[in-house]
Amino acid sequence: MLRPMLRHFALLPAAGVGARMAAGHPKQYLDIHGRPMIWHAIRAFERHPAIAGVYVVLAAEDGWWADYDWSAFTRLTALRCGGATRAESVANGLRAMAGEVGGEDWVLVHDAARPCLSRALLDKLLAELAGDEVGGILAAPVADTLKREGEGRRIRETVSREKLWGAQTPQMFRHALLLRALERAGNGVTDEASALEHLGLSPRLVESDLTNLKVTYPRDLEVAAWLLGRLP
């Protein structure tokens, strides 16, 4: 019996406020090239022919989403079921998607504040995980020397960077498996791969690079604008 063709869906949790940006509104709505930052994150998936649909998880009280024009996107669905944590928002989104997404379909969870995802990196993730039984994530090998902080913000020790990777997104797992992992792990996990690890599974690392920037601090916005201006 032939296995049915698996589909790919993107899920962007966007219920947070991004306190480290010190902005007057949630950072996903900060302007880059005349568009809110999340618009660029959504576009990376809308432009890819392998993505069957894009879901954005918003806070129930989000008052900014309706102020923007999303009509350029034909596969976009906004879900007002955001939770208090990223894990809760993703789990709520997975439940809300369940009527349209099969348990074996792939879900690519992506940061709303990671607007510079390139077609090449998305192609690479899809290709390398196509036959994987667990799934995996984009990640970049750690290049900097790592220091552990001690008292008074002084260096306590140098940490070996050997075999250390910086986790990025998208993080790509099958719908049913990811939901089960998040329900088992609870709200303490900070990314989807951590939830899979709680099940005793080992997600695959797909090598990325630092152009897939997450906007965390105010200066990152300038870097993201520069990178976006150079994407095809």
The answer to whether position 2 is within a domain reads no
Q: How far apart, in whole angstroms, are the C-alpha atoms of residue 119 and residue 97?
A: 24
The answer to whether position 3 is within a domain reads no
Q: What is the pLDDT of residue 232?
A: 80
Whether residue 19 has pLDDT greater than 60? no
Are the C-beta atoms of residues 113 and 18 closer than 8 Å to each other? yes
The residue assigned the tokens 């306590």 is: 156
Q: What is the pLDDT of residues 20-30, one digit of tens each?
A: 454 567 899 99
CATH number of residue 61's parent domain: 3.90.550.10
Domains held by the chain: number = 1
Sign of CA dihedral 155, 190, 73, 210: positive
Instruction: Domain of residue 118: give its range.
Output: 8-228
Whether residue 1 has pLDDT greater than 50? no
The residue assigned the tokens 């990314």 is: 191
Q: For residue 4, what pLDDT band results from cuts at 50, 70 and 90?
A: low
Q: What is the pLDDT of residue 16?
A: 79
Are the C-beta atoms of residues 25 and 62 closer than 8 Å to each other? no
The answer to whether position 66 is within a domain reads yes
Q: What is the pLDDT of residue 55?
A: 98
Q: What is the pLDDT of residue 231?
A: 86
Packed helices 218-228 and 37-46: angle between N→C axes, nearest 10 degrees: 40
The answer to whether position 36 is within a domain reads yes
What's the Cα-to-Cα distance from 191 to each of 11, 22, 219, rounded to whole Å? 13, 23, 24
Q: What is the pLDDT of residue 187?
A: 83
Q: What is the pLDDT of residues 56-97, one digit of tens each?
A: 999 999 999 999 999 999 999 999 999 999 999 999 999 999
Average pLDDT over residues 99-112: 97
Are the C-beta atoms of residues 177 and 187 closer than 8 Å to each other? no
The answer to whether position 146 is within a domain reads yes
The answer to whether position 1 is within a domain reads no
